[in-house]
Amino acid sequence: MLVVVLLVGLLLMFRDLFAECRNLLILRDAKVRQFIYFASSKVELPSEVLVGSIFVYDSFSKHFLREGSD
């Protein structure tokens, strides 16, 4: 019985840890987007470059977030 309680506790702890890691990835995603917008305003990038860089970043981040949730 004690072993079952310990295993359930460990599973809940790891579930919370993985959820926190996912939240950190989402926060990083927002900061990267903010940096892309900031950099484009300072360098005067064409809108096509801005949209392309966000599209590429979105593709990579969705791929990694999807892999992490499996």
Query: pLDDT digit string (tens) for 40-62?
Result: 677 666 667 767 777 777 777 67
Say what the pLDDT of residue 30 is.
76
Q: Which helix (H) or strand (E) holds 8?
A: helix 2-43
Neighbouring residues of 49: CB distance < 8 A, sequence distance ≥ 6? 40
Percent pLDDT > 90 in the chain is 0
Token pair 């791929």 in the structure block, residue: 63
What is the rounded distance in angstroms from the CA atom of residue 47 to the CA atom of residue 42? 13
pTM above 0.75, yes or no: no
What is the rounded distance in angstroms from the CA atom of residue 21 to the CA atom of residue 65? 10
Assess whether pLDDT exceeds 60 at residue 67. no
